[in-house]
Structure 1
Amino acid sequence: MASSKDAWSPTLGVEEEFLLVDAATGVAVNRADEVVAIAREQLGLDLHHELTGAQVEINTTVCADAEQAHRELLDLRRLVAQAARTAGCRAIAVGAPPLGRATGEITDSLRFRRIAREFGALAEQQLICGCHVHVAVPDRETAVQVCNHVRPWLPVLSAVTANSPFSDGEDTGFASWRSTIWSRWPVSGPPPFFTSWEHYEEVSDTMIKAGTALDRAMVYWDVRPATDLPTVEVRVADVAATADEAVLLAALVRALVAQAVVDVERGVPARDVPQETLRQACWGVSNEGLRGDTFDVLSGETRPVREQLDDLVRQLTPVLESNGDLPAVQRGLRLLDGEGSGADRQRQVFRGGKVESLLVLLDVDNADRAEPDQKCS
C-alpha cells in the first residue's frame, strides 16, 4: 500500500468472513464452492474460500477513508447475500455458529488440507468468522513498533463488534464466543512486545520450528505486521453485525495506526503492557461485552468497557477529524448506544428460540438496508 515514508498515507482495507447456513434451520452448510462460483460467474464478485466449506470471505479494495470502506462493504455484503440465496442458503454475519454443530468440511486446497492434518479438530471446528482491518505503514520496522502502540487497545477494539453469544442454540454467557474458540490455537491472542523487526522474526521462526505455526501466515496474533502487504493487520474482532460497526472498527484502527506512526517517528515509547495482562483483559471483554466492566490495562482498574471506548475516541478525535473519519465513528457509536452490540441484539431477538428472527437479523445485507440516520435516530 505504501513503499516509503515519503509516500506513506494511512489507507485501509477490510476483510470480513461470513458463515453459510441452511436458510430455514440456521445450521452451517458446506456450500462455499457453489456460493463462490455464483459470485464470480454471475455477479462479478471475487469471493474467497476459507478454511472450511461453510465460510466465505470478502475484501475491500485499498480505501482512502472510512466512507469508501463503508460503501464497498455495503455493496460486497449485498452481493454475498445474493449469491448465497441463489445457492439455496443464507450468508450470515456472526462470529461463531449460533445453531447446530460447529464443525465443517475442510476446503479442498493443499494448504488447508495440511492445516487439517497438523491441527486436527481445531481446523474442523474453525467455523468462526472475524473482521480484519489493514492499515498501511511505511516499512516493516515501523510496523512492529506500531503494533506495540496498538496492543493496549486490543481489548477495547474487540468489544466494538462482539457478535457471537450463542453456540448450539444456547447462550454461552459470552458476548464473543468466537474469541474463546480462537484462543485454543497455539499462536493467537495479544502478541508479545517486540523490540525490533529482527525480534519479531526470531520469535516467529521459533514457533514455526516448534510446529505451532506452519508459516508466517499462521502467526495469528490479534495485531501483527501483515505477511504479504506493507500493513499492520488488526485481527481481534468478530465479524461485525453491520457495515456501520465494521467501519467504526476500521476507522478507530486507522486512526490508532496513523497516530502510532507519528509517535514512532517522534520517538514516543509504547506502553509495554505484559502479554498476560492483555490476555486477561481480552478475556474479560469477550465475556462481558460492551456494556460490562473489565480490567483497564492502562489505568490498572476495573472500569466500564464503554467508558474505555470513550477514552479511545477522545484520544483519537484530532486524528479522526483530520482524516475525515469522525462522522463514521459517530454513526457507529450511535448504533451501539441505541441498539446495543451485535451480541445484545442477538439476545433480544432470539428469546424463545425464534430462529427466523435471529437469521433475519444476521443476514449479511439485512441489517444494513435501512439508512444509518433512520436506524440510529
Structure 2
Amino acid sequence: MRIPSFGVEEELLLVSATGHPLPRSKAVVADLPDVELELTRAMVEINSPVCTTAAELHGHLSDLRAKLAQAAAEEGARLLAIAVPPRGEAAQSITRKARYEELALRWGLLAREQGVCGCHVHVEVPDKQAAIRASNHLRPWLPALLALTANSPIYLGRDTGFASWRWLMTTRWPCAGPPPYLESPEHFDALVSMHLAAGTLIDERMVYWDIRPSSHLPTVEVRVSDVPLSVDETVLLATLVRALVMTALEDGGQGPTVEPEVLRAAYWLAARDGLTANGLDVRTAEPLPMPDLLQRLRQHALPALQELDALDLVDDGLQRALTAGNGAIKQRTAFHAKADLLTLTEIKPEPKN
C-alpha cells in the first residue's frame, strides 16, 4: 500500500480580552510564514507543510500555533482554537481582498456571519479520478469525523444545543455540506459548471462540500471538521482521514452508494449530539452509539492504520476523546459551570527564552 503525504489547514479566531472577535488579522500574519488571511478580519489560517509522518505534522502545528499566538498577543489579541465566536455580534468585518469582498457583495449577511473556523485535511492522490473515488468511499464516514471533532456548542454567549454549530452555519452556502456521489471527474466538472452558469458559485474554490478534489493541489480535501481544541486532536483527525483515503484507493472501486437521506440524518445527529448519543451507520441505516461507530471506522481503516504504524496514536486519541471529551463536551461543561471559555480554548504564545 503506497503511503501518501498529507497536510492540514487550521482556521483560528482572534478575540479581544473579553472574547469578542477582533479584526486584527492583517497585522498578526504580516511577518509569519505558512499563515494566511481568511474571510473575516478576525480569522487566521495555518497551513502546515506537506508531511510524511504524524510526528512531523504535530511538530509543525504546535510550532505554528505558538508563533501565531505570540504574534496575536503582540497585537493585543488572544488566539482561540474554537469554531465559532463565543461572544460578540454575528456579523463581522470582511478581509479586504477582492475575492472576499465579492463574496460579501453577492452573499451579503451570509458571508459576514461566516466567521467560523474549520480544519481541512489534504491527502495526496495520484489524479482527480482517485480524488473522486476517495470522496465516494469517505462519504459514509464523514458524520463520525464531525462528531469526533465537534468544537462549537457555544455561540455568541448561548448554548446552541448542538455540538457543532459551525457545521450548521457552513451548510447555508449553495454548494456545501454532504458531497454528492460522483460518477467521474466529468460528473464533478459538470456539476461545477452548472453552479458557475447559475451564479451560485464564483469559482471552483467555492465548492464547499465536506470532501472535494482540491482545485489547486494534487490532493483530496476533507473539510467536515470544526477546528479541534488541541494539536493532538487535529493529528488524530488527519491520521484517520489519511488512513481512510488509503483504504479507499486500495479498494479500487468507485465507492458505495448510500441513501442521501440516511447520510443527511447521520450528519444531523453528529452535529447535534457529537460523541454523547447515537450516531447512524450510513451503510446500514443502523442507529449506533457514537463510540461503536468510531470503532467501525477504525476497523474499516485498520490495515492502513497498521501500515502507517498509527494504531496506538488512534487508539489513544479515541480513548481520550471518549473519556475526557472533545472540544464540544469541554466547552459545554465549562459554560454551564460558568468557567472561562477563553482560558479553555486559548492557544498560548511561544515561551520566551
Aligned equivalents of 1:307 and 1:338: distance in 2? Answer: 14
Residue by residue over 1:76-98, the C-alpha shift from the partner in whole angstroms, topping out at 9 and shown as x without a partner, is: 11111111111111010111112
* SS at 2:33 equivalent: coil
2:94 to 106, 112, 133: 106
Shift of 1:103: 2.0
Please tell me whether the aligned partners of residues 15 and 78 of structure 2 are also in contact (alpha carbons under 8 angstroms).
yes
1:260 to 238, 245, 248: 248
The aligned runs of 1:188-207 (5 Å cut-off) are 188-207=176-195
The aligned runs of 1:311-326 (5 Å cut-off) are 311-326=296-311
- Could you say which residue in structure 2 is the equivalent of 1:20? 14
The aligned runs of 1:88-167 (5 Å cut-off) are 88-167=76-155
1:62 to 43, 46, 50: 50
Aligned residue type for 1:292: A
Aligned equivalents of 2:142 and 2:72: distance in 1? Answer: 32
- Could you say which residue in structure 2 is the equivalent of 1:225? 213
The aligned runs of 1:235-274 (5 Å cut-off) are 235-264=223-252, 268-274=253-259
Please tell me whether the aligned partners of residues 19 and 28 of structure 1 are also in contact (alpha carbons under 8 angstroms).
yes
- Could you say which residue in structure 1 is the equivalent of 2:261? 276
Aligned residue type for 1:186: P
- Could you say which residue in structure 2 is the equivalent of 1:177? 165
* SS at 2:11 equivalent: strand
Residue by residue over 1:147-175, the C-alpha shift from the partner in whole angstroms, topping out at 9 and shown as x without a partner, is: 11111111001112100001121101100
Shift of 1:34: 1.6
- Could you say which residue in structure 2 is the equivalent of 1:360? 343
Aligned residue type for 2:15: V
* SS at 1:69 equivalent: helix
Shift of 1:146: 1.2
Aligned equivalents of 1:259 and 1:134: distance in 2? Answer: 15
Please tell me whether the aligned partners of residues 162 and 289 of structure 1 are also in contact (alpha carbons under 8 angstroms).
yes
1:295 to 248, 261, 280: 280
- Could you say which residue in structure 1 is the equivalent of 2:175? 187
Aligned equivalents of 1:326 and 1:242: distance in 2? Answer: 19
Aligned residue type for 1:10: P
Corresponding position: 1:34 with 2:22: no
- Percent of paired sites with the same residue: 46
Aligned equivalents of 2:348 and 2:187: distance in 1? Answer: 42
Change (3 A) 1:221 1:149: same
Aligned equivalents of 1:295 and 1:335: distance in 2? Answer: 22
Change (3 A) 1:107 1:343: same
- Could you say which residue in structure 2 is the equivalent of 1:11? 5
Aligned equivalents of 1:339 and 1:200: distance in 2? Answer: 40
Please tell me whether the aligned partners of residues 275 and 322 of structure 2 are also in contact (alpha carbons under 8 angstroms).
no
Aligned equivalents of 2:338 and 2:21: distance in 1? Answer: 17
Aligned equivalents of 2:264 and 2:105: distance in 1? Answer: 28
**Segment drifting more, 55-64 vs 333-342:** 333-342
Shift of 1:198: 0.5
Please tell me whether the aligned partners of residues 280 and 293 of structure 2 are also in contact (alpha carbons under 8 angstroms).
no
Please tell me whether the aligned partners of residues 9 and 137 of structure 1 are also in contact (alpha carbons under 8 angstroms).
no
- Could you say which residue in structure 2 is the equivalent of 1:374? none
Please tell me whether the aligned partners of residues 29 and 35 of structure 2 are also in contact (alpha carbons under 8 angstroms).
yes
* SS at 2:94 equivalent: coil
Aligned equivalents of 1:132 and 1:259: distance in 2? Answer: 19
Shift of 1:365: 4.1
Task: Count residues with an aligned counterpart.
Answer: 351
Residue by residue over 1:317-372, the C-alpha shift from the partner in whole angstroms, topping out at 9 and shown as x without a partner, is: 22111112223212322321231010111112222533xx2111101248x99xxx
Change (3 A) 1:105 1:144: same
Aligned equivalents of 1:274 and 1:224: distance in 2? Answer: 19
* SS at 1:350 equivalent: helix
RMSD: 1.7
Shift of 1:256: 0.4
**Segment drifting more, 249-258 vs 285-294:** 285-294
Aligned residue type for 2:191: V
**Segment drifting more, 291-300 vs 162-171:** 291-300
Aligned equivalents of 1:31 and 1:76: distance in 2? Answer: 18
Shift of 1:269: 4.5
Aligned equivalents of 1:292 and 1:67: distance in 2? Answer: 32
Give ranges in structure 1 of 5+ residues lacking alignment: 370-377
Aligned equivalents of 1:350 and 1:139: distance in 2? Answer: 45
Residue by residue over 1:225-253, the C-alpha shift from the partner in whole angstroms, topping out at 9 and shown as x without a partner, is: 00001100000000000011111110000
TM-score normalised over the length of structure 2: 0.96
Residue by residue over 1:279-313, the C-alpha shift from the partner in whole angstroms, topping out at 9 and shown as x without a partner, is: 22111100011121132211212111121011111
List, as ranges, runs of 4+ consecutive aligned residues in structure 1 with deviation greater than 3 Å.
none
Residue by residue over 1:257-282, the C-alpha shift from the partner in whole angstroms, topping out at 9 and shown as x without a partner, is: 01111112xxx341101333212211
